[in-house]
Amino acid sequence: MEQYSIRLDGIFQGLADPTRRAVLRRLSRGPASVSELAAPFAISLPSFMKHIRALENCGWIVTRKQGRVRTCAMQRKALADADAWLSEQRALWEARLDRLDNWLESEE
């Protein structure tokens, strides 16, 4: 259970920054080079690479270097893990709200 929790912490930490979310949004359309991903941002390449490393460390992306070009691709497993956790939470809260609704109706 602890390993699952640590993995989820990293997954959501990857989503915590708007630059990283924008990178993931772009990668959802397919792989891209680091220079292509960095182009829309007004930050230095070393600063941008910190975001790439953060996404790679928490499992959102994988990178591959071919010659001088580093290409990034999205890992769908992180999205599936986040979706599974959110679905669990949604079901939990819907059940609680249903019980509250039933209780309120019985009190009327």
Q: What is the mean pLDDT of each run of 10 residues along the chain (108 residues)?
A: 70 91 96 96 95 94 95 90 85 89 85
* Residue among 79, 42, 45, 43 at smallest CA distance from 61: 79
Query: Which neighbouring-strand residues pair with 33?
Result: 71
Number of domains in the chain: 1
- What pLDDT is recorded for position 5? 67
Where residue 32 sits, what CATH number does that domain have? Answer: 1.10.10.10
Q: What is the pLDDT of residue 46?
A: 94
The verdict on pTM exceeding 0.95 is no
Structural domain for 19, as ranges: 2-107
